[in-house]
Structure 1
Amino acid sequence: MNFEKYPFEKLNELLKDIKPNDNYEPSALTIGEPQFETPKFIQNALNKSTSLLKKYPASAGLPELKEAMINFVKKRFNVTLKDKQLVTTFGTRESLFNFPQFLLFDKKEPTIAFTNPFYQIYEGAAIASRAKVIHINLTKQNKFKAKLSDKELEKCDLVILNYPNNPTSAEMTKKELGEWVKKALEFDFVLVNDECYSEIYFDESKKPSSLLEASIEVGNVDFKNVIVMNSISKRSSAPGLRSGFVAGDENILESYMQYRTYVGCASPVPLQKAAAVAWNEDFHVDEFREIYKKNFKIAKEILGITPPKATFYIWLEVEDDLEFTKNLYKEKNIKVLPGSFLGRNGMGQGYVRIALVENEEKTREILKRLKDFIDG
């Protein structure tokens, strides 16, 4: 298999011969990893469960973890899932990579479509599935919203959306997602929405919608051809717990569950115990959202940007993303991620992705440096 280098590897190569300005503390705004301590109650649940390391974890996951995830979906999206409509996973990166391989195995010449720019695991899954790729190009002109023609959709076996979107921070409404569900039924392809940023939003009255809600809204109450994936990593600042789920069409998930028993990606029991506690609690998520909200308020004040409605990313338009990245690192010791590393066919060029995952004090200091650089 011939995989592309990961964006962070490309970044290291881009910057390897540059000596950064050591008058400033090194600052990395590149990776979507919250830089906050995982809440103590989650850590305590993990500590109390270490004796369970002696047990092999079941691929199906602990019943209490699955129940917590189903409860989360009910509380957050008002969607009631049956037990067979949700599969616990080892985060979402695992399932985003192996679900397409499982789904497309029996297809002679499979085709995957996914948003572009993108989280690179989508492309990796396409390569591993020997699938032809149709890029769903996200541009400023289409407001970074996914759209394909019927002619293109007729060719698709699997479509992967990602809303709220990484890297552009764009959203799609429930109605817009519902139109995609209709197309999935009309052209009989499986539609996945990667919803791992669904809980990083800043207006309680305008929470991001789930594809599950949209499916019900258009009458597809059994979620035929519809799958969502979500994770605790961003929600609870606990990426190390590796706790995620796949939910939706039970006919697909029944076979996928059997497939996963062979994959061997079961999460250790102590991690599952801690994750169940985290999925069941909401107040700590509110606190993290407030931090991100303050960070974007600072970004608006310093950079003059319009804060997104969800995610913790700024998709900053620049003249040349590679030169901007190199010079920013050289002059201000700040790392950002060039948009061209996240896209294909020119998508992402002229943008850099900035992850606001630090505390308020660090965010203010780094963004002031960034502003000084921009003003030149």
Structure 2
Amino acid sequence: MFEKYPFEKLNELLENISHPNEVISLTIGEPQFETPEFIQKELCKNAKFLNKYAKTSGEEVLKKSQRDFVKRRFNVELDKDELIPTFGTREVLFNFPLFLRPSKTAFPNPFYQIYEGAAIAAGSKINYLELNEKNNFKPSLNQLDGDEDFIILNSPNNPTASVMSLDELCEWVEYALKKDVVVLNDECYSEIYTNNPPPSILEASIKIGNKNFKNVLAINSISKRSSAPGLRSGFIAGDKRILKDYLNFRTYTGCAIPLPLQYAAKLAWDDEKYPAIFREEYKKNFERAEKILGIEIPEATFYIWLKVGDDIDFTKEAYKRGVKVLPGRYMGRNGAGEGYVRIALVYDEEKTKKALNILKEIL
């Protein structure tokens, strides 16, 4: 029913390959910088609330903090019923299609594998929108079959690091209205950028006059921006008609966020100091990669989508020398991603330089 997860495939590929005692893993998009201390302290301070059940709808203190973030970052003012806090975004990416029950789903290819798993679980047909050099690793409307009723976008993109412009996002919003299709943009990497802040599909919706976000949704998370993936704090925002029924659905899913996590997450969503610090560290890593590998610095994310020839052979050779990367084909279907590897630059300067120099030797 489900494909093996990319990391399971990777472990099988590398299982019998000899390697150094120390291996630098550049495979998982997990920030390696310490979660800011004030967030940790707030979590500990509120541990006493573990004796209480949390509401599925979330505490107002967290919801207000998330709405304030959207206003501050994207200049989009949300009503109270236009945002739902979620237990990270992985769970919402999986259970939202179960709620929506689309007959056909489209999403970029290669992709974050939860998109496919959710479509399969929901009994939805799939249109894989191939990302390649010719389309600058961005999906386009002409790739659609026309009978999709749910579209997932992912900008900034994992794994290719491409970013859609505001005008490009506007085209998708216009299509959502014209065809009465639900369009969701996964914006989890919106806060990891090198120069210009990437736009939100909520901004695009406002720009074309769709001020009530009809058929338009965005999700986001503090996992990357606050180096706090274990805090599991995200949100889904947009069309209140859809969110009203989805919130009712969520009462059955058991995804209520523990209160100590909500209070700590509230501070993380309010914070802009540490996200700026982390952004600068990731930017420096890109600059190191530019110098060592000769790559062009991406606009956002902390990924390099590196063209290597045979991605399987490259991955094996890198592992033999002490660096773990993810073959692009493991994130794609129908040949998408072949010839590339995804590299997550999530470490400090010393480890990053060491890993990049090893990869340079192989190239």
Q: TM-score range by the shorter chain?
A: over 0.9
TM-score w.r.t. length of structure 2:
0.99
Match for residue 129 of structure 1 among 104, 115, 122 = 122
Partner of 2:11: 12
Q: Which amino acid aligns with 2:34?
A: E
Partner of 1:340: 329
Match for residue 58 of structure 1 among 55, 75, 100 = 55
Confirm whether residue 138 of structure 1 aligns to residue 131 of structure 2. Answer: yes
Q: What does 1:1-376 align with in structure 2 at a 5 Å threshold? A: 2-22=1-21, 25-104=22-101, 110-149=103-142, 152=145, 154-203=146-195, 206-330=196-320, 332-374=321-363
How many Å apart are 1:328 and its aligned residue? 1.2
- Partner Cα distance (2:182, 2:330) in 1: 27
- Partner Cα distance (2:18, 2:177) in 1: 54
How many Å apart are 1:361 and its aligned residue? 1.7
- Partner Cα distance (1:159, 1:151) in 2: 9
How many Å apart are 1:151 and its aligned residue? 6.1
Q: Which amino acid aligns with 1:115?
A: P
Contact 2:302 2:345 (8 Å CA) reproduced: yes
Where does the alignment leave 5 or more consecutive residues of structure 1 unmatched?
A: none
Contact 2:109 2:128 (8 Å CA) reproduced: yes
- Partner Cα distance (1:151, 1:58) in 2: 39
Q: Secondary structure in 2 aligned to 1:267?
A: coil
How many Å apart are 1:21 and its aligned residue? 3.5
Q: Secondary structure in 2 aligned to 1:133?
A: strand
Q: Which amino acid aligns with 1:365?
A: K
How many Å apart are 1:360 and its aligned residue? 1.4
Q: Secondary structure in 2 aligned to 1:262?
A: coil
- Partner Cα distance (1:283, 1:361) in 2: 24
Can you list the C-alpha shifts for 1:138-166, whole angstroms capped at 9, x where unaligned?
011100111132861x2011000000000
- Partner Cα distance (1:360, 1:40) in 2: 21
How many Å apart are 1:344 and its aligned residue? 0.2
Can you list the C-alpha shifts for 1:58-87, whole angstroms capped at 9, x where unaligned?
101111000000000000000000000000
Question: For the structure 1 residues 305 and 71, does the alpha-carbon distance in structure 2 shift closer, same or farther, using more than 3 Å as the test?
Answer: same
Contact 1:169 1:310 (8 Å CA) reproduced: yes
How many Å apart are 1:281 and its aligned residue? 0.9
Q: Secondary structure in 1 aligned to 2:251?
A: helix
- Partner Cα distance (1:43, 1:150) in 2: 45
Contact 1:136 1:148 (8 Å CA) reproduced: no
Contact 2:166 2:201 (8 Å CA) reproduced: yes
TM-score w.r.t. length of structure 1:
0.95
Aligned Cα root-mean-square deviation (Å)? 0.9
Q: Secondary structure in 2 aligned to 1:96?
A: helix
- Partner Cα distance (1:347, 1:372) in 2: 26
- Partner Cα distance (1:343, 1:125) in 2: 15
Contact 2:86 2:255 (8 Å CA) reproduced: yes
Can you list the C-alpha shifts for 1:89-148, whole angstroms capped at 9, x where unaligned?
0000000000011011xx6xx000001000000000000010000011101110011113
Percent identity of equivalent pairs: 58
Can you list the C-alpha shifts for 1:209-231, whole angstroms capped at 9, x where unaligned?
00000011111111000000101
Q: Secondary structure in 1 aligned to 2:290?
A: helix
Q: Secondary structure in 1 aligned to 2:236?
A: strand
Aligned structure 1 segments of 4 or more residues deviating by more than 2 angstroms: 148-151
- Partner Cα distance (2:119, 2:202) in 1: 24
- Partner Cα distance (2:273, 2:107) in 1: 33
- Partner Cα distance (1:358, 1:19) in 2: 23
What is the number of residues matched between the two proteins? 363
- Partner Cα distance (2:144, 2:108) in 1: 17
Q: Which amino acid aligns with 1:276?
A: K
Q: Which amino acid aligns with 1:121?
A: I
Where does the alignment leave 5 or more consecutive residues of structure 2 unmatched?
A: none
Q: Which amino acid aligns with 2:193?
A: Y
How many Å apart are 1:29 and its aligned residue? 0.2
How many Å apart are 1:26 and its aligned residue? 1.1
